[in-house]
Amino acid sequence: MKGFKTIEKNLHLDKFIRRIDWYIIKKFLGTYFFAIALIISIAVVFDVNEWIDNFINNKAPVKAIIFDYYANFIPYFSNLFSPLFVFISVIFFTSKLAENSEIIAMMSTGLSFKRLLRPYMISAAIISVLTYGMGAYVIPKGNVTRLNFEDKYKKKKKQEYVRNVQVEVDNGVIAYMERYENYNKTAYRYSLDKFVDKKLVAHLTAKSATYDTTTVHKWTLKNYMIREMDGMKEKITKGDRLDSIIKMEPRDFLIMKGQQETMTSSELSDYIDRQKRRGFANIKEFEIEYHKRIAMSFASFILTIIGVSLSSRKVKGGMGLYLGVGLALSFSYILFQTVSATFAINGNASPFLAVWVPNIVYTFIAIYLYRKAPK
């Protein structure tokens, strides 16, 4: 009985995805991964050529160059330019089908253009899930290692100190530090104010506060004084050293270039919510990164429809013409994303809209080209 159900399930699957569908899916995905391998290999060669002097001068170990840098460089840039690879793959493969009159042969059997899109959309769904999964959970972990390598052996990206920091660490609790030094994880001239119903009830000052990297939110205060107010009464406590739990980490206020790329999507969401509650304004890059990961996964479907609609017709100029148009459209999509993100960071545009506007615009282009495609 179990074997009969398996056969029935396989027959149903074969009915939904026919042999021609499997052929297109294999060719699409094969071309996609081949395009990644080819273009990223060229990118690696150019990157080595550009930074080899820095690696030698800074005495970067060969093992670190390969495993810490390039092992994380390749998936990062593969995912970043996934829309470009999708476009190239669709146009390259589909224009070959059109040039060999295979699409005409398929459609002469009664296969509609809408039905022809099914294997393409299944392939796009696979790429979409892969792109989101890699971008949201796998690549951020590798980016930590890659960015640390870049900071040590390529060029400095980390901010080593920050001045005049004010952070709301909890409801009604405000922390202030005159200066924070990252090399020793220490804040100088540190103070902590606690308010209840907008009234100051406690005020702490310390000569320094050092973050303990082995324990979450643990700070060691030195030469501290605590003033506790209760109406007209006041209690003062002094000491040389105090271990305290304060809901604050250096990364909350010491923002490194590209820091948003080192967080998983769940970490980004928590970080954005926490910083909004604290009243931080400089979180647009984090919001853009969060929404971009989702938007890019949907881009696979949009660009696939545009690519198939463009290249499924046999015309003079063939593959070369389609590849030229496809490259122009894919680069314009990436450029559009970059420009709209820049407007959001430097202006008042919503990060959500900045990320999704390119997808919305290209969806209209996809609908237009789909209607013009051979039926």
**Mean residue pLDDT across the chain:** 85
Q: Give the pLDDT confidence score for residue 252 in this predicted structure.
A: 77
Query: Which has more pLDDT, 104 or 211?
Result: 211
> Domain residues of the chain, as ranges?
2-155+285-372, 161-251
Q: 308 pLDDT exceeds 50?
A: yes
Residue type, 128: S
Query: Which has more pLDDT, 155 or 74?
Result: 74
Average pLDDT over residues 332-354: 83
Q: 8 pLDDT exceeds 60?
A: no
Res. 216 pLDDT band, cuts 50 70 90: confident
Tell me the three state secondary structure of residue 232.
coil
Q: What is the pLDDT of residues 260-294, one digit of tens each?
A: 899 999 999 988 887 777 666 668 889 999 999 99
Q: Give the pLDDT confidence score for residue 2 in this predicted structure.
A: 46
Q: For residue 335, report the phi and psi dihedrals to the nearest 5 degrees.
A: -65, -40
Q: 219 pLDDT exceeds 80?
A: yes
State the pTM of this model: 0.76
Q: What is the pLDDT of residues 68-86, one digit of tens each?
A: 999 999 999 999 889 889 9
Contacts 24+ apart (CB under 8 A), 123-126: 123/24, 123/25, 123/28, 123/29, 123/32, 123/304, 124/86, 124/300, 124/301, 124/304, 125/300, 125/301, 126/29
